[in-house]
Chain A
Amino acid sequence: MSLKYGVLGLLKGEPLHGYEVKNRFEAMLGGTWEVNIGQIYTTLQRLERDGLVRPVGPRGDRGKLAYELSPDGHKALDQWLAEPDSGPQQLHEDIYVKLLLATRIANGGLQPMLARQKRAYLQRLRDLNRLEERARRDGRIDLARLIRGALLHTEADLKWMDELSSERFGAEGAPKE
């Protein structure tokens, strides 16, 4: 996703200037997404150009300008929230391509690769568990839910490694029926 709707969503509550948007956005994401202030200003300018936000009030100290949602901005945000995420599944991590390449060139190195990856996922599960505990301790139930989603994803990745490990791979790497 782009920052666009995150910014719109924050402005729905109350008018904010650029730094407030940045701080609230990062706080909402609990440090899992860091943005630089330049991205925020660029996003605000584009939103203003497209008529979704508009400046409100006079420039504050050091020329800070607060923005609020326009009626079109409200509409765009509501529409986005109502739409299910139906785009293609995002597989960003290297392992997907590594796996495809390894089945062709690893020459028997596939099992160790799966074992190493599995261990990395176990460590990630442990880290996520600790992060979730911390979020709950801090009263950040929304963040704990996000982390729970990540935990379940990683569990699925781990199961995938197990499934691949129990397959029989031929010399050329392609799975044998």
Chain B
Amino acid sequence: MDGRAFFRAFRGGGGTKGMTDLVSLTDVTKVYQGGITGALNGISVTVEKGEFTAIMGPSGSGKSTMLNLVAGLDKPSSGTVVVGGTDLGKLGEAGLARFRRDHIGFVFQFFHLLPNLTALENILIPAQLKGNTATVRARELLEELGIKDVADSYPARMSGGQQQRVAIARALINNPTLLLADEPTGALDTRTGDQVMELLGQLHRNGQTILLVTHDAKLATRHAARVISVMDGKIVDDARLESPERAPSDVIRVRGEEASR
């Protein structure tokens, strides 16, 4: 199987038969003791399978908290979080760990690679499959993400863009139902950030459901057709953007003044 067929075969599977809502948050409130920022105040929202959704908002608005709740990394103070038909509130610690391993791929701003492991070893950390099967798979991901040259390199020897690609490969190793990305371009220069986002766009076109937290509206609207705006722990807008072919003059008008002399 070549890399592309591999992608098609594995993208976006698992546990959602007969459902359109992959993620469902209902009346979710998160209170942090001491009132630190990032709290959520009665949020309800659903995300369908196959969507590329961006969550935008100022720092402290609660957007990363939303992502952490969906990932099962954090628990709501009240309300329910259902992902792929599983009510996360009903899972214990072991159940949550299993849920994360089976369903969630998480990409962070600062990559979170282990410095004493090579790219390949980092990608294999969460692998469910063991031995040769996992290694074959990891190498296919390295190839697909354009980083096979750094397979045996350590993170310190890689560029930021390469490290983030390794982190994305690690997030994909178990064919997650849902790929979560928290400011994945935040530590990268513009060009490298564009490339990483292009990669996420490609994964989405191959069927991957993606939830992206970002403050960059340019990047968000480039790939995500849905933009959820969060402010002070509340969803203040949920915009589904259109993608028609528009004539240039319907998008930009360079304005000329009539020559007057």
Contacts and interface: CB of A to CB of B under 8 A. Distances in A.
A32 B252 contact: yes
Nearest to A46: B259
B52 to A, nearest CB: 12
5 nearest interchain CB pairs? A31-B248, A125-B221, A129-B222, A126-B221, A33-B254
Interface in A126-140: 126-131
Size category, B interface: 20 to 34
B257 A1 contact: yes
A115 interface: yes
Which secondary structure dominates where chain A touches chain B? helix
A118 interface: yes
Interface stretch (B43-51, B67-75, B177-185, B234-242): B234-242
Interface string B210-253: 00000001100110010101010000110101110111111111
Contacts of A30: 248
Contacts of A33: 249, 253-256
A107 to B, nearest CB: 20
B14 interface: no
A32 B248 contact: yes
Interface stretch (A9-17, A58-66, A147-155, A168-176): A147-155
Which secondary structure dominates where chain B touches chain A? loop
Interface in A59-115: 90, 92, 115
B115 interface: no
B224 to A, nearest CB: 9
Interface in A22-46: 29-35, 39, 42-43, 46
B58 interface: yes
Contact of A119 (B237, B255, B257): B237
B261 interface: yes
A146 B239 CA distance: 26
Contacts of A164: none
A4 interface: yes
Contact of A126 (B58, B242, B253): B242
Given A115-B236, A166-B231, 4 more contacts: A32-B248, A126-B242, A131-B251, A147-B252
Nearest to A120: B239
A3 interface: yes
Given A3-B259, A126-B221, A131 B246 contact: yes
Nearest to A2: B259
Contacts of A126: 221-222, 225, 241-243
Nearest to A7: B259
A24 to B, nearest CB: 15
Contacts of B252: 32, 128, 131, 146-147, 150
A130 B243 contact: yes
A32 B246 contact: no
Contacts of A3: 256, 259
A6 B256 CA distance: 10
B189 interface: no
Contacts of B2: none
Interface in B22-44: none
A114 to B, nearest CB: 10
Contacts of A42: 259
A129 B259 contact: no
A90 B254 CA distance: 12
Contacts of B225: 126
A35 B256 contact: yes
Contacts of A152: 218
A34 B249 CA distance: 8
Given A3-B259, A42-B259, A32 B249 contact: yes
Contacts of A146: 252, 254
Contact of B229 (A6, A32, A118, A130): A118
Contact of A115 (B217, B221, B237, B259): B237
A162 B237 CA distance: 12
B255 A122 contact: no
